[in-house]
Each structure stands twice: as structure tokens, then as C-alpha cells.
A and B are shown apart, each in its own frame.
Chain A
Amino acid sequence: DIVMTQSPDSLAVSLGERATINCKSSQSVLYSSSNENYLAWYQQKPGQPPKLLIYWASTRESGVPDRFSGSGSGTDFTLTISSLQAEDVAVYYCQQYYGTPYTFGQGTKLEIK
């Protein structure tokens, strides 16, 4: 199984400041033939299902604000929120879909400082 490890487990950031969440996979999720990273980021607010934010490591899902961006390749990835808004308080998960079993990170809880 590909193990996904996020850091930090929790994060407190002031409104308007940058938030950065990291995700590391135990093996590469870069598919060489397509040069795509099979990595997604989700946002989950209390009592709600996860919401897809980013896929292919850096492609924003339709309707997702451009303050959310994803970067990285191979085994190391980052989700960045450029200017934190109050509505961004949530738990964020990375997920690899390179191969089964599809695995998620343990989650990073983002709060307002």
C-alpha cells in the first residue's frame, strides 16, 4: 500500500495569511507515460462530505477559488491557501489514486489564529 503522510496534523493561521499543508507518499505517484501525478486534495468541513479541491496534484476543480493551489511531484506535494479566509476552516486530506488501495493522508486540521 502507498502510505500518505501529511504535515502538520494541525495548523493555525491568521486571516489573510498563507497556509501550507504538506503531503508525502511512500512511493512515487507520478505515472511516467502520462507525466501526471495521481494526487488529489480534499476539503472537509464538519458534518459534510469531502469536497474535491485539486487533482493531478495541481489542477483546480471547477469553482474552487484561486487562492487554493497545489504543487509537487513524485512523492512530495503541497497545498497552499494564499490568503486564508474564515470559510477555509476545515480538515484537508491528500489522496493518491495511482493504484489500489486508494489511500488518504491522516488529515490536517486548519484553524484561524
Chain B
Amino acid sequence: QITLKESGPTLVKPTQTLTLTCTFSGFSLSASAEGVGWIRQPPGKALEWLALIYWDDDKRYSPSLKSRLTITKDTSKNQVVLIMTNMYPVDTATYYCAHRTYTSGPFDYWGQGTLVTVSS
């Protein structure tokens, strides 16, 4: 059974850097075709894909946020980390991590999400 859980600060100040961790179980990011992505959702708004990392360390980023994002994995800890620099109030959102298999397509398993508020 695949599970994912996000962790990180609930409140960050403007201009600060956000670091979020996704801890997962039920699959290994050292196994071929496995991937973990990050998606966010501002309150009352739609979903926005941010970044994705695959088993072979292939990384993909949203072009509009690429300069602010870094995604890494720690296979031994079953964790994926997302770093977003220069946070603004518009970045206030629930941040989800989700599982994707390279060959099967969509995000099939999601974490519960973590709400991050950007405010001074």
C-alpha cells in the first residue's frame, strides 16, 4: 500500500525559503519508473503542478516557478524534498506530494497535504 505524507512549516515570512519533505512508503524511488511530484492548491482555487523527480534523478519543474524550485530525493530515507525560495503571500497554499509511475501516467496516490501560510 502506497502512502505519502508532507511535513514542513505551517507559517513562513515573505522572502523566506520554504522546505517541505514528503515521506513515503509502499514503493522505492530506486525502482525503475517511480516518481514523486509536488502539487499545490491556494485556498479555494485550482491545482497547480510544481515539480517532479524520477527514480533516475530526472527532474522536471514548472517553467513559471523553475527559478525558485529545487527538488531532491533521499532514497535511503524514502523522502523527497522540495525547496521554494523567495516565498510571497500568493504562495499561500496547501502543498501536496503525489506518486506517479513514469509509464502509467497520472498522480495515483496523494498525501493529505500541508497548508503553508506566507505572512509577516
Interface residues of A (CB under 8 A from B): 1, 38, 40, 42, 48-52, 55-56, 61, 93, 95, 97, 100-107
Contacts and interface: CB of A to CB of B under 8 A. Distances in A.
Contacts of B60: 100
Interface string B94-120: 001010100011111011110000000
Contacts, number: 57
B46 A49 contact: no
Nearest to A49: B110
Interface residues of B, number: 23
Interface in B34-60: 37, 46-49, 52, 60
A55 B105 contact: yes
A97 B110 contact: no
Given A1-B63, A49-B96, A104 B108 contact: no
Contacts of A42: 47, 106
B25 interface: no
B62 interface: yes
Contacts of B113: 49
Interface of B: 37, 46-49, 52, 60-64, 96, 98, 100, 104-108, 110-113
B110 A55 contact: no
A49 B62 contact: no
A104 B39 CA distance: 10
Contacts of A101: 49, 62-64
B112 A49 contact: yes
A106 B46 contact: yes
Contact of B106 (A1, A40, A105, A107): A40
A38 B105 contact: yes
Given A55-B108, A104-B47, 10 more contacts: A50-B110, A52-B107, A61-B108, A93-B46, A97-B105, A100-B60, A100-B61, A100-B62, A102-B37, A104-B49
Contacts of B104: 55
Contacts of B48: 104
Nearest to B113: A49
A56 B105 contact: yes
A51 B52 CA distance: 18
